[in-house]
Structure 1
Amino acid sequence: MQTVLYIRVSTTEQTSEHQLKQAQGAGFKVDEVVADVGVSGVTTVLAERPQGKRLFDMLRRGDTLVVRWVDRLGRNYADVTDTIREFMRRGVTIKTVINGLVFDGATADPMQAAVRDALIAFMAATAQAQAEATREAQKAGIAHAKDREAAYRGRKPSYSREQLEAVRDLLAQGASVSAIAKETGLSRQSIYRIQENPAESEAALARWAA
């Protein structure tokens, strides 16, 4: 039996090392890391990614697949739910670093299975909703940045693209500002600003080409 960490990073600002450190910090002993770099979770399903397709070949009954959160598997509802259920049918357990969720096909109790499936559906729907919200915020931020760019760039953001996405993910999951600050290394003030004005947060990164 092996524990495999799957990593997906879609931008140059994100790093595989960060997700590996998160997993190790959460207590996971990873036997192998499989990473897709520069791949969108919205437009490319897991089975069509260069490294994502390896998971379907290498994972066996009794193995554990670890991901930072379900959005690393994908940002499309159907893709994420189908992927998790396929791995469960194969006897693979899926665990998330954030929130410590566990999905497996071990239970034979119909009520427990129903609760598990409902949670999978909720997590997959949340991942897609976050992707859509991020896309709209990016559009608004870019448009806002273009309007103001001729005047001034303003103060350089105190956060990176990866930190901004992490803050959004954690806020959507209901994490407290204090917990997010500890997780991302940002100040509470920065997190409040991102929470109160996501479009301006995107605009600041766009102005500084971050």
Structure 2
Amino acid sequence: MTKTVLYARVSTSEQTIDHQLTQAREAGFQINDEDVIADHGVSGVNTKLADREGGKRLLDPLTLRKGDTLVVRWVDRLGRNYADVTGNIRHFMKKGVIIKTVINKMAFDGATKDPMQKAGRDAMIGFMAAQAEAQAQATKEAQQAGIAFHRETSPEKFKGRKPSFDRDQLEEVRSKLEAGLGHSAIAKETGLNRNLVIRIARDPAKAEALLARWGM
């Protein structure tokens, strides 16, 4: 019995997996909740599909078999690296898996033997993967230009909100994390908000950079 699997990826907290699932179902795909594979807060530019937790599950030989369908909102959910995206799509097609997109309702599979159809299919895959990478690069350049502008024109605003912790507290949180203490225990001992402790634990480099921007 064949199945339909949705792979969803979000790279920011403003995006949601549920939105991608709803879009897929509204487009007519019958997807069970247990057949949704997702990666949260993962960049499609810097992290290859095989290096993501959800991606590893998706590429597991037991997840998708010949005749199954892999649904993605668009190919950029698989990634924004040309070589990685095209390589993975070919991998699934070779297995006999059909890849379908919610946007534009594209379908790719390896069933065709006609050389002209193969050429057209491969050209479309290459174009879509290249477009995904180009869009990511354009977004990155625009963000960098915006940051540079605000750094020059509004240096105080660029700093963002002043951190609610100082360097001593950051070092204390780090040392307690290394000692194996839980987030709640650290929050209680340091007097910091538990959510702040969690944010520091997840990205200590970001916390360090925030202090540096404020000269703390």
TM-score normalised to structure 1 length: 0.70
Q: Note the residue ranges of structure 1 that are not aligned, 5 or more in a row.
A: 154-210
1:74-113 correspondence to structure 2 within 5 Å: 74-113=79-118
Match of 1:127 in 2: 132
Give a deviation string over 1:59-94, Cα, whole Å, max 9, x none: 110110000000000100000000000000000000
Match of 2:5 in 1: 4
Give a deviation string over 1:30-72, Cα, whole Å, max 9, x none: 1310000011101111011011111112111011000000000
CA distance in 1, matches of 2:85, 2:64: 17
Match of 1:139 in 2: 144
Match of 1:171 in 2: none
Match of 1:45 in 2: 48
CA distance in 1, matches of 2:149, 2:20: 31
Q: CA deviation at 1:147?
A: 3.6
Q: Which has the higher contact order (CA 8 A, sep 6+)?
A: 1
CA distance in 2, matches of 1:20, 1:34: 10
Comparing 18-27 and 80-89, the one that deviates more: 18-27
Change (3 A) 1:56 1:149: same
Tell me how many residue pairs correspond in the alignment.
153
CA distance in 2, matches of 1:24, 1:134: 29
Match of 1:54 in 2: 57
Q: Which amino acid aligns with 2:41?
A: G
Q: Secondary structure at the residue paired with 1:51? A: helix
CA distance in 2, matches of 1:151, 1:89: 54
Q: Which amino acid aligns with 2:46?
A: T
Q: CA deviation at 1:140?
A: 1.2
CA distance in 1, matches of 2:101, 2:66: 18
1:112-191 correspondence to structure 2 within 5 Å: 112-149=117-154
Identity of aligned residues (%): 66
> Is 2:65 aligned against 1:65?
no
Give a deviation string over 1:85-114, Cα, whole Å, max 9, x none: 000000000000111010001111010011
Q: Secondary structure at the residue paired with 1:8? A: strand
CA distance in 1, matches of 2:6, 2:156: 45
Match of 2:31 in 1: 30
Match of 2:183 in 1: none
Structure showing greater radius of gyration is 2
Match of 2:188 in 1: none
Q: Which amino acid aligns with 1:42?
A: V
